[in-house]
Structure 1
Amino acid sequence: MKRLDWTLIVVAICVLPAAVAAPFFVGYYTSEVLILFMINLILVCSYRILTTTGDWSLSHVVMMGVGAYATAMLTKHLGLSILLTVPLSACIAALVGLLMVIPLIRTRGFGFFIASFALGEFVRLVWVKFREPFGGPRGMIGIPSGELGSIDFFDPLPYYFFVLTVALICLFVMYRLDRSRIGKTFKAIYTDEGLAESIGIDVPHYRALAFVTGTFFAGVAGSLLAHRLGAIDPKAFDVNTMVYLIIWIVVGGAATFWGPIIGLVVMTFAFEWSRPLLEWRPLLFGGILIFFLVALPGGLEGLLSTIRDRLVPKRRPAEAAAKEAGE
C-alpha cells in the first residue's frame, strides 16, 4: 500500500474518534464552529482541485453561493428533502461552473484570475439586482434546516453528524481523485503544459474538468451552509470571503492533499482567537498572507517536509544500490 494511503489510515484512526466524540464534550457555540469548519473543509479541498492545474480562481466562493441559492429555492419552492437538495445543488453549481469555464478556458495565469473574478461578480450581482427569485440585496431567509424521518436537523447534534458524514464522503472522493490518473494529469498540466500537450493530453478538457469538479464540491458546501444558517446574503460570497479561502491555501500549501487542511485548521484557530480584535483582523490576516508568500511560499506543508528531510536524511544512491545488492 502506498505511503499516503497509510497516512490516510493513520489520520482516520486518530481523527475520526475525536470527531465523533467532540459534540458531546463541547458547548453549543463550539458545535456550530465545528460544523462550519467541516463545511469549509469541503470548500478548501475543492478549491485545491483547481490549483493542481495551475488555475487560481476568484469565483470559487461564488460557486459555493450558487449551491446555497439553489438549496434555498429547491427547499422553499419545491419542498425537497435535504437528501435531494445537497446533490442537486451541487449539480446546479457544476452546471454554472461549466458555463463559466467555457470562456475562462481561453485564458491563463493572471488573465484567468481576473476573468474568473469578473464572471463571479456578474453572478453575484444577479442575486443582488433581482428580488425575484433571489431576494435582492437582503438575500433569502426562512430556509428549512431539513429533516430525515423523525430527525430534525435544527438541533446541532444530528446536523453535526450529517455534515460529518457528507464531509467524509466528499474528502474521500477528492482524495481518491487526487491519487488517480486524472489527478496526476492535472498535476502534469501544472508542471509543464507544453510537455503535457506533446504527449497527447487534452489540456483544455482537463482544465475544464478540474474547474467543474471543484465547483461541484463547492456547491455541496454551499448547500450545507444554507441549511444550517437558514438564510443567505449575497455579501457573504464576495471577494472578501474569497480572500480568506486563498489565505487557507497559502498558509497550508497546495502541493499535497493535506496542505489546505493544515492551513484551514491553523487559520480557524487564528480566526477564533482574533474575535476580540475584530477591527485589526484584516491587518493581521494580511500580514500572515504576506509572511507566508515571502518566507514560506510552500506553506506549512513545505516547512514540515523540510523538517522531516533534515531529521530523516535521504539515502544516497550508492548506499541504496549497495543495500539492494546485499538483499
Structure 2
Amino acid sequence: MHGGRSDRQTSRLAWKGESVTRTNWTFAAFLVLVLAGACVAPFLVKPYTLEILIIFLINLILVCSYRIPAMTGDWSLSHVVMMGVGAYTTALLSTHLDLSILLTVPLSAIVAGILGYIIVLPMIRTRGFGFFIASFAIGEFVRLTWVKFRDVFGGPRGMIGIPNGEIGSIDLFFATPSYFFMLVIAFICLTIMYRIDKSRIGSTFVAIYKDEELAEAVGINVPHYRALAFATGTFFAGIAGALLAHRLGAVDPKGFDINTMVYLIIWIVVGGSATFWGPIVGLIVVTFAFEWTRPLLEWRPLLFGGLLIFFLVFLPGGLESLLAKIRQRLVPGQNDDAAASPGTAGE
C-alpha cells in the first residue's frame, strides 16, 4: 500500500517538474519573441509611435527602479525627483562641459545614487506613512532648488539646448538610432535589476520587508540595506532621467512634480509589485490606455484616478495577481512568487 502511494507521489512530482520546465521554456521563448519584436519595431511603426516607444523604454527603467526600494517596504514620493536629478545633471554636463552621452548618463546615475543615499539617511528612522511623507518633503526641497537658482538650473523654465548625443558618427537626434540606443541601455539596466531581484541582496531586501525585527535578530544591518536599496533605485532613476533629458533636449522642474509621480504609482498599482514583472505589465497597460484616451484630454485625470481607485479596492495585487492565478491553474501546486515579495503600494 505504501509502495503504491509513494509511486503516485513520485509521478505527481515528476509531472509537476515537467510542467514547471515547460512553463520556463515557454516564458523563455516569449522573451525571445519580445526582443525580436523590439528589434524590428522601428521599421514597422510610424514616427510618432516610435517616439512613444522611446519614452516607453525610459519609463521601463524608471518603473523597475522604483520597485527596488519598495522591496524593503520603503515607498517613496521623491523617485521622479531623483529622475530629475539625473536629467539636470546630464543637462549641466552636456551643455557646460560638452561631455559625450556615454559619459553623461553614467555620471548622472552616480550623482542621483549618491544624493539618494544622502537624503535617505535621515528618513531611515521612519517607516510607512512617515517615510512616504518625508520623501515627498525632501523631494520637493530638491525640486524647488531648481526653481530658485535660475542662473544654474534655469528657474521655472528649466534648461534647453541639451544635445541629443552622438556615438561616433551616429547621431541620436534621429529616432531609429536613438531607439536602439535606448533599447540597449534598457536591456542592460533591466538585466542588472533582475539579477538584484533574484540575488541574496534581493532576498535580504524582502526579508526586511516581511519582518524587520526578525531580520535584525539574525544579524542583518537593516538601516544599511534600506539605504542601499533606496540608493540603487535612485541610481537607475538617474539613468532614466539622463536619457529623457537627451531625448527631449530640455528639462524643467514641472516635469518631475507630484503629477508625474502619480503616474508612476499608477503603473505600480495596476501591474502589481509582488514580482519583477508586475510593474512592467502595469506600464504596458497604462501606456496603451494613455494613448487611447488622448482625445479625452480633459477627462484623463478623472479616468486614471478612477482606475487607481478600482485597483486599490478590487484588485490590490494588480494584474500580476490575476496572471499568478492563471499560472497556478496551468501548473497546479506551484508556489506563487508573490507570497514572498513586497505587496502593492500603500499596503
Determine the C-alpha separation between the residues in 2 that align with 1:115 and 1:56.
11
Secondary structure (helix, strand or coil) at the match of 1:224 reads helix
TM-superposition CA deviations, 1:290-327 (whole Å, max 9, x none): 11011111000001112222344328xxxxxxxxxxxx
Residue of structure 1 in register with 2:333 after alignment: 314
Determine the C-alpha separation between the residues in 1 that align with 2:47 and 2:253.
26
**Which amino acid in 1 is paired with 2:183?**
L
Q: Determine whether 1:104 maps to 2:123.
A: yes
TM-score, with normalisation over the residues of structure 2?
Answer: 0.88
Determine the C-alpha separation between the residues in 2 that align with 1:283 and 1:208.
35
TM-superposition CA deviations, 1:25-80 (whole Å, max 9, x none): 11110010000000000000000001110010000000000000000000000000
Residue of structure 2 in register with 1:41 after alignment: 60
Determine the C-alpha separation between the residues in 2 that align with 1:148 and 1:22.
22
Residue of structure 2 in register with 1:159 after alignment: 178
Determine the C-alpha separation between the residues in 2 that align with 1:200 and 1:6.
38
Secondary structure (helix, strand or coil) at the match of 2:269 reads helix
Q: Determine whether 1:14 maps to 2:43.
A: no
Determine the C-alpha separation between the residues in 2 that align with 1:176 and 1:247.
25
Between stretches 100-109 and 63-72, larger displacement belongs to 100-109
Determine the C-alpha separation between the residues in 2 that align with 1:131 and 1:308.
53
Tell me the percent identity: 73
Q: Determine whether 1:129 maps to 2:162.
A: no
**Which amino acid in 2 is paired with 1:139?**
G
1:92 to 94, 111, 114: 111
Instruction: Could you tell me which runs of 5 or more consecutive residues in structure 2 were left unpaired when the two chains were aligned.
Output: 1-16, 335-347
The aligned runs of 1:60-99 (5 Å cut-off) are: 60-99=79-118
Residue of structure 2 in register with 1:55 after alignment: 74
Determine the C-alpha separation between the residues in 1 that align with 2:26 and 2:239.
26
**CA RMSD across the alignment:** 1.7
Q: Determine whether 1:282 maps to 2:290.
A: no
Q: Determine whether 1:294 maps to 2:313.
A: yes
Deviation at 1:207, TM superposition (A): 0.4
Secondary structure (helix, strand or coil) at the match of 1:313 reads coil
Secondary structure (helix, strand or coil) at the match of 2:329 reads helix
Q: Determine whether 1:214 maps to 2:223.
A: no
Secondary structure (helix, strand or coil) at the match of 1:194 reads helix
**Which amino acid in 1 is paired with 2:250?**
A
Deviation at 1:22, TM superposition (A): 0.2
TM-score, with normalisation over the residues of structure 1?
Answer: 0.94
Determine the C-alpha separation between the residues in 2 that align with 1:76 and 1:286.
38
Determine the C-alpha separation between the residues in 1 that align with 2:107 and 2:24.
31
Secondary structure (helix, strand or coil) at the match of 1:98 reads helix
**Which amino acid in 1 is paired with 2:171?**
D
Residue of structure 1 in register with 2:48 after alignment: 29
Determine the C-alpha separation between the residues in 1 that align with 2:107 and 2:303.
38
Residue of structure 1 in register with 2:288 after alignment: 269
Secondary structure (helix, strand or coil) at the match of 2:118 reads helix
Residue of structure 1 in register with 2:6 after alignment: none
Count matched residues. 316
